[in-house]
Amino acid sequence: MRQKIIAGNWKMNLDLDQGKELLIKIIDSDLNSNCVTIVAPPYIHLNSFKMLLSHTNIALAAQNCHQQDSGAYTGEISVEMLKSVGVEYVILGHSERREYFQEDSIAISFKVKNVINHGLRPIYCCGETLAERQEGEHFITIETQIKQGLFHLNEMELLNCVIAYEPVWAIGTGETASPEQAQEIHKFIRNTIAKEYGGMVANNISILYGGSVKPANAKELFTCPDIDGGLIGGAALDADNFKALTDSF
């Protein structure tokens, strides 16, 4: 049975004191226990947050990792390092990583495998640009990203993944795909997986929507049959909004 998930991606926001203040407010806000809640702060917060979250049901995620376990990769962070500070999930392939750091699905696939090998869970992101949607190429784009990024995994490995569909044109823009548009893509992703791995695997993978989700539109999105929650950006930086999102199930 697939999980309902709210994952907050803080991106490059909040210094350590600001981050602790927000996390304490989130912890104290009595989040809905009927869904899995995840916070993904900047790297510098992770070790401190491990202690703050130790007696909660909130999971800790990293926003990225390197595909190698160690070596001369100045500025990078390995999965083993993340695991040592209590990280359980790693966001991979976010559209901002793809756009600003030229990461493609093949490169991301090595990160996915490494995260799984260390017992952590990838949150694998996919999605189309506005141009790709306008040109009718969005299904091809997403199918390619899913196949290149995930189809090297066996069934059990894939079942440890979470997928996040994030239309690039709706991230940080205030624009949101309509529930019908979002559901169409989520169903397409599930069907793409089913063709390769079968219905049991496809029906047990959580697929999140990420694209300007906020309390005002969350319930309508989350009632769609193939949308299992959200990868949240800006709204995750406010404790009241984050709680309201968990209450949307």
What gap in Å lies between CA 130 and CA 191, rounded to an integer? 23
Residue 189, classified by CB atoms within 10 Å of its CB into exposed (0-12), middle (13-18) or buried (19+), is buried
Q: Is 137 a catalytic residue?
A: no
- HEC per residue, the chain: CCCCEEEEECCCCCCHHHHHHHHHHHHCCCCCCCCEEEEECCHHHHHHHHHHCCCCCEEEEECCCCCCCCCCCCCCCCHHHHHHCCCCEEEECCHHHHHHCCCCHHHHHHHHHHHHHCCCEEEEEECCCHHHHHCCCHHHHHHHHHHHHHCCCCHHHHHCCEEEECCHHHCCCCCCCCHHHHHHHHHHHHHHHHHHHCHHHHCCCCEEECCCCCHHHHHHHHCCCCCCEEEECHHHHCHHHHHHHHCCC
Which of 45, 94, 138, 186 is catalytic? The answer is: 94
Q: Is 21 a catalytic residue?
A: no
Which of 96, 103, 132, 166 is catalytic? The answer is: 166
- Residues known to be catalytic: 94, 166
